[in-house]
Amino acid sequence: MMWEKVVVLCLATLALAQSEKEAKIVNHQYEIDEDGTYNLVYQTSNDIEATETGKSYPGDEPETGNFVRSGSYSYVWEGVTYTVNWQADENGYFAEGDHIPKK
């Protein structure tokens, strides 16, 4: 009787894991302007959403410069939606969200 429960739990776990692997991109938009600014948006069938904007700033020397990006992403875990807003620039990567501890 116990092994039947183990088999059922294994099958249920396998089914849940497989549904995540089969997530599809349902919306994807990417635009880049002549000045190097870009915008990215995507959504998946398993409730992941992300937006990102960025701009490239060339440096004085070839292959130098800076790239500034910011955006957000959200996902659903056990019925709760988590959102992270972030920024990345010459000072590093910074993220914040209600579920992320504050310093």
The confidence band for 67, taking pLDDT boundaries of 50, 70 and 90, is confident
How far, in Å, CA of 41 to CA of 30, rounded?
7
The confidence band for 96, taking pLDDT boundaries of 50, 70 and 90, is very high
pLDDT at 97: 94
Alpha carbon of residue 57 to chain centroid: 24
pLDDT at 4: 52
Q: Which of 67, 36, 30, 35 is nearest to 52 (CA)?
A: 30
In tens, the pLDDT along 4-62 reads 544 444 444 544 554 567 889 999 999 999 988 999 999 999 999 999 999 988 888 88
What is the mean predicted confidence (pLDDT) over 59-85?
91
pLDDT at 10: 47
Please say if the pLDDT value at position 1 is more than 50. Answer: no
Locus of tokens 């904007």: 53
Say what the pTM is: 0.72
Contact 32, 15 (CB under 8 A): no
